[in-house]
Structure 1
Amino acid sequence: MTRTQRWLTGIAVALGVVVSAVVVTASALLPSDEKIAAELSARFEENFGIGLKIGSAHRTLWPMPTLVLNELATAQAQPIVARRVMLRLRVAPLWRREIAFDAVDVEGAVFPSASVRAFRGRGGAGKQDDLAKKHLPSEWTLASTPVEQLRWRDVRWIDRRDISLAYDGEVTFDASWRPRVAAIRRLGVEPVTQARAERVGSNEDRWRVLMEAGGGTWNGEARLDTTPAGLLRVTGRFEAKAIDIESLVKAFDRRAPLAGKLSGTTEIDVEGEQVTEFARKLHTRTRFSVKPAALTRIDLAKAVSTAGISRGGRTPLDELSGTLDTQGTDDGVVLKYTNLKARSGVLTATGNVRLFNRKIDGDVAVDIVDGVVGVPLKVAGTVDEPEVSLTGAALTGAAIGTAVLPGVGTAIGARIGQKVEQMFGGKKDDRAKAGVGRP
């Protein structure tokens, strides 16, 4: 069995823990609901090293073997909880000593990101057949399609900043965990924010992806391959059209530092031994254009005219374009904006900006005299409270320029100051020595 055929191994591990208890419910022994709950909790802790409390369990055999688990909670400081989990077992495969679920439904679950990270590396890994031998009774195995449908309702994800976002969704699987159709919807937001993936053909690992967000669309295609080193690799390309940035960001309970409608092309690329690694390793590149646009928390013209630190304000732009690279890490997502180009009736600007864990670090050159003079600005602070200022050497040059030639002299002096700093190997940002930001 190739690595491609073992994708979603992490799900198979968890499924293997549940399976034995479900098999027992279909046997002639008919154990009590309490015994089923205790057995499942014990197997979960044995496999993952983390305890699981189950409020109650209830099984029925007609018309379809079904196990319902209520009020689940992991034994963690901030537990993963689920109000209800229902598993429906298919009868026909049982005659072949195979386990296959018609559906798995999850309702009212909460997944704190810190608690989910605690499961990394736990539960083992390997081939689906090996997992079945570990968790199932002798001579039993998982079917080629272990789960036909996985559905979730009102499932919440709590991120590093304790922002809780609710989702509905479902996945219909083909053999070997290949999603045939997958959909996810963000709950309680307008305009609609959702994504849907549909497999192209039955023998190809390609999916057509349709996304709606911010009143626009982000559609394209993704594919799954196996690298020469045996790793799983997902690549894709998507076209963004007329996506309102503020609406998009608001749908995920955040505020946008940029306003306007975005269009562009996004490419994704990620590799890993298991699909469960993809979220924290995902790399994307988007070449974008926003027009008209506005920087909602920065006034570039004010920063240039005051030659000091500037916070707040707004910068209207006729157009903003550039490239956004995102790279997932174990500690969050790094965002890099490069080749930024902005223009409006009063200024043009170019620059590069890096964002990580809501902190900003970047450099911008603002042209205020018909694109001839570039005033160098340092961008810092946070996404919620960004600030722009002249670098130390540029500030000194600006002061000299003002004395020599008021107005335009400030901009010319700032540029000269920056060049002198670079020529003599000065620090990129020497604002402290120049007294910028001191009370």
Structure 2
Amino acid sequence: MKRIAGVVVVLAALILIVPFLIPTGTYLKQIEQIASEKLGQPVSIGSLHFAVLPTPRANIDLLRIGQHDEVRVERVAIIPEISSLFSEVKVMSAIVVTNPVMKMGAFDFIAAMPEKVKGSPALVVRRLEVINARLEWPQLNVPAVNVKATMAEGNQLQSAKLTSVDGKLNADITPQGAGYGIKLVAQQWTLPAGPKVLFNSLHSEMTLQGSRLDIGSLDARLYQGTLTATAVLEWGKELHASGKFRTEGIAIAEAAHLISKKKLLSGKLGGTGTFSVNAKEAARAADNLVLDYKFNVANGVLHGVDLVKAATLLLRKGGKGGETQFDELSGMLHVAGKQIELKELDIVSGLLAASGGVKISPAGRLDGVVEVKLKKGVVLVGVPLQVSGTLDDPAVFPTKTAMAGAAIGTGMLGPGVGTSLGLKAASGVEKIKGLFDNKK
């Protein structure tokens, strides 16, 4: 915050060195050169002129900063207090920055700047206003924002109000110790990166100090449920983030539409999790995400597959379609970049119990084994099922081991008891195989 304000103050101070109401064409190159030296980056000014209305001011048009125009500004209006122009300390009642655009690279050289630029002329700024500021970051859709800030003695921030142009996001910023306190409020706001998660409401309190952001609290309502979280974000040469979160009562059928157009799962989702990110640049954050989420879904339906039917028919061609109702589904979601794994799955529903794990490839393909136990009388018969297909079109069918076990048991002891014993033996074999697979 101090560094960004410093860029504006340096440019404004240089402009006020030029005598007010004197033709400025001669001075542009000199101003660009001095500004470039102080900011450590190439500075280009399209034009500089003075206006009397609506108030006396100097206008900079088409300002560009950086080797690759990392900062572009349509106009900077510098509004001085006329009585201070011939004083040792120049006072500006306001600086108004219109339509600035910042690329990701701009933050690299801004972070490298000292918080106070040495050798800058004595200058006091009363108010800073930014209109329609935009970020141009790959894979990041941040809404344009307006900023109104009042400055205290020494051009230190006294308070700032940030509002998105669409009115969905508001933030109040005030000094707090060596950094800044931020109170964020959002309504009907969509996550700017990754899945387009829609927050009905969000409240957060954060602390910004240098290149570290501490999210002390985050409380949100989304998809009929709630999300609470704490996190720490650090940036510089690399991006680091970590945090904890809890969900309660989320309608998973609505949230699941973020990854598939088809209805995959319904019920109320709750759980706790942790996440971390270590990436060389923000655009690669999703590829370096590690997340573990222990979850449960109550009174739901697994759509696209009927586990009871698949376990009962013992058809090699497998089963598609249908649905499985359950009282509770629990497990562990593990995400490592684009790799997703559902582990320790347990499904409970009346006469049905199932357990296992499934991996989901970056292309959405499924690979896993789920053992379905069906209650027949007082005996539970377990059938290992291979899970395959895709998220949109899942398929389950008995594993080759299950088919072989059922056939051998039936041949030796006949249908019924023989088949059940064969399936039980096959289930044991699958568990032993699973132990070795997990060690890979």
2:349 maps to which residue?
Answer: 344
Amino acid at match of 1:322: G
Equivalent residue pairs, number: 346
Residue 389 of structure 1 deviates from its aligned partner by 2.0
Residue 368 of structure 1 deviates from its aligned partner by 0.9
Distance in 2 between residues matched to 1:424 and 1:340, nearest whole Å: 17
Distance in 2 between residues matched to 1:313 and 1:384, nearest whole Å: 13
2:183 maps to which residue?
Answer: 181
Q: Determine whether 1:388 maps to 2:396.
A: yes
CA RMSD of aligned residues (A): 5.1
Residue 287 of structure 1 deviates from its aligned partner by 1.8
Residue 405 of structure 1 deviates from its aligned partner by 4.2
SS state at 1:395 partner = helix
Residue 262 of structure 1 deviates from its aligned partner by 1.2
User: Do the aligned residues in 2 keep the contact of 1:222 with 1:235 (CA within 8 Å)?
Assistant: yes
Amino acid at match of 2:97: L
Distance in 2 between residues matched to 1:114 and 1:221, nearest whole Å: 22
Residue 215 of structure 1 deviates from its aligned partner by 0.8
Residue 298 of structure 1 deviates from its aligned partner by 1.6
Residue 383 of structure 1 deviates from its aligned partner by 1.5
Deviations 1:56-93 (A, max 9, x none): 924434573223238x799xxxxxxxxxxxxxxxxxx9
Correspondent of 2:307 among 291, 300, 308: 300
Matches within 5 A, 1:161-310: 168-173=168-173, 180-187=182-189, 193-199=200-206, 205=214, 207-223=216-232, 234-250=241-257, 254-255=261-262, 257-271=264-278, 279-307=286-314, 308=316, 309-310=318-319
1:364 maps to which residue?
Answer: 370
User: Any stretches of 5+ residues in structure 1 without a counterpart?
Assistant: 1-7, 75-92, 117-141, 155-166, 429-439
User: Do the aligned residues in 2 keep the contact of 1:198 with 1:209 (CA within 8 Å)?
Assistant: yes
Change (3 A) 1:396 1:110: farther
User: Do the aligned residues in 2 keep the contact of 1:361 with 1:380 (CA within 8 Å)?
Assistant: yes
Matches within 5 A, 1:95-134: 95-96=122-123, 102-103=129-130, 105-106=132-133, 113=139
Amino acid at match of 1:335: I
SS state at 1:68 partner = strand
Deviations 1:229-269 (A, max 9, x none): x9886443333221111123347885552210012222334
Correspondent of 2:77 among 33, 53, 60: 60
Q: Determine whether 1:45 maps to 2:45.
A: no
Task: Output the TM-score relative to the length of structure 2.
Answer: 0.60
Amino acid at match of 1:181: K
Residue 180 of structure 1 deviates from its aligned partner by 1.2
2:382 maps to which residue?
Answer: 374
Amino acid at match of 2:313: T
Distance in 1 between residues matched to 2:12 and 2:414, nearest whole Å: 84
User: Do the aligned residues in 2 keep the contact of 1:298 with 1:388 (CA within 8 Å)?
Assistant: yes
Amino acid at match of 1:413: G
SS state at 2:243 partner = strand
Residue 342 of structure 1 deviates from its aligned partner by 0.6
Distance in 2 between residues matched to 1:168 and 1:25, nearest whole Å: 36
Deviations 1:314-368 (A, max 9, x none): 10001111222233x3xx3x33222111111231001112224223222211111
Distance in 1 between residues matched to 2:131 and 2:7, nearest whole Å: 14
User: Do the aligned residues in 2 keep the contact of 1:287 with 1:323 (CA within 8 Å)?
Assistant: yes
SS state at 2:422 partner = helix
Residue 100 of structure 1 deviates from its aligned partner by 9.4
Deviations 1:172-221 (A, max 9, x none): 44567756123455559999534331137999945111011111111243
Moved more, 250-259 or 214-223: 250-259
SS state at 1:45 partner = coil
User: Do the aligned residues in 2 keep the contact of 1:261 with 1:292 (CA within 8 Å)?
Assistant: yes
Deviations 1:128-148 (A, max 9, x none): xxxxxxxxxxxxxx9776994
Q: Of the two, which has the highest radius of gyration?
A: 2
Change (3 A) 1:366 1:173: same
User: Do the aligned residues in 2 keep the contact of 1:33 with 1:57 (CA within 8 Å)?
Assistant: no
Deviations 1:32-79 (A, max 9, x none): 985466542x736165xxxx9x7x924434573223238x799xxxxx
Change (3 A) 1:364 1:423: closer
User: Do the aligned residues in 2 keep the contact of 1:17 with 1:43 (CA within 8 Å)?
Assistant: no
Amino acid at match of 1:392: K
Correspondent of 1:69 among 96, 99, 102: 99
Amino acid at match of 1:169: L
Residue 422 of structure 1 deviates from its aligned partner by 7.8
Which fold has the larger relative contact order, with Cα–Cα distance below 8 Å and residues 6 or more apart in sequence?
A: 1
Change (3 A) 1:359 1:67: same
Distance in 2 between residues matched to 1:239 and 1:61, nearest whole Å: 48
Change (3 A) 1:255 1:12: farther
Amino acid at match of 1:311: K
Distance in 2 between residues matched to 1:44 and 1:99, nearest whole Å: 31
Distance in 2 between residues matched to 1:104 and 1:177, nearest whole Å: 24
Amino acid at match of 2:332: T
Distance in 1 between residues matched to 2:261 and 2:15, nearest whole Å: 46
Residue 410 of structure 1 deviates from its aligned partner by 4.6
User: Do the aligned residues in 2 keep the contact of 1:271 with 1:278 (CA within 8 Å)?
Assistant: yes
Q: Determine whether 1:313 maps to 2:322.
A: yes
Change (3 A) 1:422 1:224: closer
Distance in 2 between residues matched to 1:173 and 1:44, nearest whole Å: 31
Distance in 1 between residues matched to 2:14 and 2:379, nearest whole Å: 76
Distance in 1 between residues matched to 2:141 and 2:295, nearest whole Å: 35
Change (3 A) 1:300 1:68: same
Identity of aligned residues (%): 25
